[in-house]
Structure 1
Amino acid sequence: MQAFDLYAILPELVLLLATCLLLVASVYVRERVPSTPGVEQDIFHTPRGVGFVYFFSIILLGYLIFAFVGRLGDVSLVAMNGLFQSDPLSNLLKACACGAVLVSLIYSKRYLQDRALFRPDFIVLALLALLGQMVLISGANLLTLYLGLELMALPTYALVAMRHNSEKSVEAGIKYFVLGALASGFLLYGMSMLYGVTGSLDLIEIFKTVADPRVNHLVMAFGLVFIVSGLAFKLGVVPFHMWVPDVYQGAPTAVTLMIAAAPKLAAFALLFRLLVNTLLPLMGDWQPMLVLLAVLSLVLGNVTAIAQTNVKRMLAYSAIAQMGFVLLGMLSVFDDHAFSASMFYVITYVMTTLGTFGLLMVLSRKGYDCETLEGLKGLNKKHPWFAFIGLVMMFSLAGIPPTVGFAAKLGVLEALVDAEHTFLAIIAVMASLIGAFYYLRVVKVMYFDEPVHEVTVSGSGFAKGLLSLNAILVLVIGIVPAGLMTICLDAMRRTLLGS
């Protein structure tokens, strides 16, 4: 191992070692077992021990964010004998992923405490999933990509089913595991066909071989179908979306946030690494597939969300439609502006998702989960500031100015028009108009309906302050989006030049 190899993987090594130490330390955290005979209850850890693991994790994630932000100006390099790449795109996405997990843990603390889920194993599993996301984002080899994908997925399966006394949670965990394994199989089979044709697992070598006109195009096309299908499963787009609503609804809200936020950044990186960095010469084959997946996701996701009364299930179908927009940004012919618009979209979507689920957790309390529209009724009469936060998040998801969601959608639509995909831009606008209905319905419920039961706000002052800052950022970046857009464009341009 050379010095630049160690430098490239240093943040991942720090996260791995720290997570392993926390895992070992959690064995010595004292537990208290309810002594009531014949009553099955959860085992929960003493707050002092869990507090140490939680505090250490917050410090660790803060360090990782600063480490990756400090690397944004670095040149692209491939380390570990071509297995791992560190470039501006990966550093930006990893900084955002660490920030998303950090915010998720802060929002989730009181929610988990009220449900006896605030345990070291929850935090360790979240950190292991983050490690998988970081490996996936920097994968320069098919094996590295697959390793990162599985390292991200396996802890998430356990998180979904962690509330073992809930039938919905266990059912969601089983569905997620079975369908996730199927998606991994699709992806692995497609990768094996790529290897069979090109004779290499290295993304750069595959790119060079695929560009050769003498390559077996039929086998490559079959492999491409399996790869795109596997990617569609991981993104949760139609028709590979069947797991998304059930998992979003069945998992505890804190776990749903872990699924809905940071993994979307890793899924975008996987999409970029495989289709743009590796299979760009086959753009004529995979572009029509993405068009079909994007249009189906936009239409079906928005139309189906209208019928939902469960907010988490509605947000699941919303996520399907939002991922359709991300796919639309990948349709331009080697256009760094379009790719950066897609990356800007997914980063701002994660930011909005954090605020949306953070609000649901703040409005939940012990013995009650705020998951339905009834739970939001009359919120403005009791807590006007939190109703305003909900309004900002819904407006951003709907793409209404001056929120960041409007700037993100406008960037993707601009890229579509520039690439002469005007018809797709019209479909995207019409689908967004349909989606605005169910987002505005949430606003109407919060502002104009009478509360049907007591509306309370829980969570620490720090979590509430962070939630407020989250809403302010959604507004400020929506009004002045140039800064983040420039960062995304610069990272994308330098990554493409480096590759």
Structure 2
Amino acid sequence: MNEFTNPNLAPVYAEIFLLVAASAILLIDMFLPAAKRNLTYYLTLLTLGGCAIFSFADFNGGATVYTFSNMYVSDPMSNLLKLFTYLTVAMTLVYSRQYATERNMMSDNLGGEFYVLALFSMLGQMIMISGHSVLSIYLGLELMSLSLYALVALRRDHAVSTEAAMKYFILGALASGFLLYGISMVYGATGSLDLSEIARAAESGAASRTILVFGLVFIVAGLAFKLGAVPFHMWVPDVYQGSPTAVTLLLGGAPKLATFAIAIRLLSEGLGAMAFDWQQMLMVLAVMSLAIGNFTAIAQTNIKRMLAYSTIAQMGFVLLGLMSGVVGGDASNAASAYSAAMYYSITYVLTTVGTFGLIMMLARSGFEAEEINDFKGLGKRSPWFATVMMLMMFSLAGVPPAMGFMAKLTVLESVLSTGAIWLAVLAVLFSLIGAFYYLRVVKVMWFDEPTDVSVVQAPMDMRVVMSVNGIAVVALGVFAGPLLTVCTNAMITTLTS
């Protein structure tokens, strides 16, 4: 019987469970009184835990399984990224709970729209991560994007959020059009939507190279938009600043892992034969992102806007890792370079989650802690959480022993292995420039007098997760070996299967 009519459902148990659970949570939430709406929050966290059980079982098995006529693949890379996606979304929801409640972002106080849209966005990310057909990848991308558009506009009475949602929707639709047009060109050249068939057609020379390069330009442009790389970064600072901070975290966290995954799927697995062409594009995007992201962040006084430009610069390092895999047609460095980029993406996301979580911790009803000056004297108000924020800033700046240092080091090693010493030197110089605006936040927290002397209050679950997050930033930097090894082994298995 055809594989599509009788597919192996075992690899997609996590997605099936998530879809059923999200739909059930939406229905249950409709009948809950406002006083019992906390149930929605706990059910969402239980759903994430259930997904993690399925994905961990697949990851522990270590096998690569294709299903739905090769439109979907379960391999170590996809399962590892999914596990960190669940962790990121769970932490985001813990950090966002009080913030969302105080701002009435959902109907009847703590309604389920925020949580359900977050779950459907994550479902799109899971499909993106495991997509082995350009069609399934695109469908996952659109499911994620549509959910995020709605989340940005969730505060209907907030003009700035509405403006951010319009900007994100219009520019996001344009980027999706770029990606879809590029996909259509690749389909026209190869006659297939399957990544393996596209790879075979590109390697054999059966497909028109001119058409493939033309399609590749649009695909890279679409990926650059989702990563927030220059010159497709225009939406990032406005949307990060305009969105409710809880939604900003949903935008800037887990989706970066999904975008990294589809970059590997489309560029390495599907168009690996065109590596020379797309590597040159990624190198230009990386250098521009490092330059414009770091220099522009220095001028920012709004911390969310500063972190937006920081994200642009951080994605420059991810692109450096992606462009270092193939040297002169030799792909022997691919697993090392791509695993370095994956490790960088994971460490960046974990650090970003903690950073925005602290912004939400300092915020309260009627007050958004969005200016750098709002962090003045935090070391006197709450020494422990000021220390956690300092560790986050050190990690983003690449200061040892935080995990951001090891992430930058592994990417730079991959760049040096290609012989592009000038590129590694340039990346280090831009990182030194970027350290200024991170250390400025540290200076404001510890050396400026507080303008607000109120006690920092937060729910116990938020305090515990925040503390663990801060400790993990150091622990994963000092003991980086295990996670690096897991990323490397996952990438080796994925690339050879």
Specify if TM > 0.5: yes
The answer as to whether partners of 1:110 and 1:458 remain within 8 angstroms in 2 is: no
Q: 1:10 — aligned with what?
A: 13
Q: What is the rounded CA distance, in whole Å, between the counterparts of 1:120 and 1:127 in structure 2? A: 11
How many residues are aligned here? 482
1:60 equivalent among 41, 44, 47: 47
Q: 1:23 — aligned with what?
A: 26
Between 1:458-467 and 1:178-187, the stretch displaced more is 458-467
Structure 1 residue 469, shift from structure 2 partner: 0.4
TM-score of the pair, normalised by structure 1: 0.95
Q: What is the rounded CA distance, in whole Å, between the counterparts of 2:57 and 2:66 in structure 1? A: 18
Structure 1 residue 454, shift from structure 2 partner: 3.3
Confirm whether residue 291 of structure 1 aligns to residue 300 of structure 2.
no
Q: 1:121 — aligned with what?
A: 113
Which aligned pairs between 1:178-327 and structure 2 lie closer than 5 A? Answer: 178-327=170-319
Q: What is the rounded CA distance, in whole Å, between the counterparts of 1:460 and 1:211 in structure 2? A: 56
Q: 2:496 — aligned with what?
A: 497
Structure 1 residue 453, shift from structure 2 partner: 2.5
Deviation per CA, 1:294-323, whole angstroms, max 9, x where unpaired?
000001000000000000000000000000
Q: What is the rounded CA distance, in whole Å, between the counterparts of 2:57 and 2:313 in structure 1? A: 34
Displacement over 3 Å in runs of 4+:
1-4
Confirm whether residue 369 of structure 1 aligns to residue 357 of structure 2.
no
Confirm whether residue 93 of structure 1 aligns to residue 96 of structure 2.
no
Q: 2:149 — aligned with what?
A: 157
The answer as to whether partners of 1:193 and 1:219 remain within 8 angstroms in 2 is: yes
Q: What is the rounded CA distance, in whole Å, between the counterparts of 1:436 and 1:255 in structure 2? A: 26
Q: Which amino acid aligns with 1:268?
A: F
Q: 1:76 — aligned with what?
A: 64
Q: 1:467 — aligned with what?
A: 466
Q: 1:110 — aligned with what?
A: 98
Q: What is the rounded CA distance, in whole Å, between the counterparts of 1:382 and 1:313 in structure 2? A: 24
Q: 1:139 — aligned with what?
A: 131
Q: What is the rounded CA distance, in whole Å, between the counterparts of 1:176 and 1:106 in structure 2? A: 25
The answer as to whether partners of 1:65 and 1:96 remain within 8 angstroms in 2 is: no
Q: What is the rounded CA distance, in whole Å, between the counterparts of 2:10 and 2:171 in structure 1? A: 36
Q: 1:397 — aligned with what?
A: 396
TM-score of the pair, normalised by structure 2: 0.95
Structure 1 residue 68, shift from structure 2 partner: 1.5
Structure 1 residue 3, shift from structure 2 partner: 7.7
Which aligned pairs between 1:22-41 and structure 2 lie closer than 5 A? Answer: 22-30=25-33
Q: What is the rounded CA distance, in whole Å, between the counterparts of 1:367 and 1:218 in structure 2? A: 56
Q: Percent same amino acid among aligned pairs?
A: 51
Between 1:305-314 and 1:161-170, the stretch displaced more is 161-170
Structure 1 residue 337, shift from structure 2 partner: 0.7
Structure 1 residue 4, shift from structure 2 partner: 6.6
Confirm whether residue 340 of structure 1 aligns to residue 339 of structure 2.
yes
Q: 1:167 — aligned with what?
A: 159
Q: 1:42 — aligned with what?
A: none
- Where structure 1 has 5 or more consecutive residues not aligned to the other structure, the ranges are 31-45
Q: What is the rounded CA distance, in whole Å, between the counterparts of 1:492 and 1:141 in structure 2? A: 19
The answer as to whether partners of 2:190 and 2:206 remain within 8 angstroms in 1 is: no
- Where structure 2 has 5 or more consecutive residues not aligned to the other structure, the ranges are none
Between 1:116-125 and 1:273-282, the stretch displaced more is 116-125
Q: What is the rounded CA distance, in whole Å, between the counterparts of 1:24 and 1:181 in structure 2? A: 30
Q: What is the rounded CA distance, in whole Å, between the counterparts of 1:224 and 1:151 in structure 2? A: 23
Structure 1 residue 272, shift from structure 2 partner: 0.6
Structure 1 residue 2, shift from structure 2 partner: 7.9
The answer as to whether partners of 2:11 and 2:58 remain within 8 angstroms in 1 is: no
| Matched position secondary structure for 2:73 | strand
Q: Which amino acid aligns with 2:480?
A: P
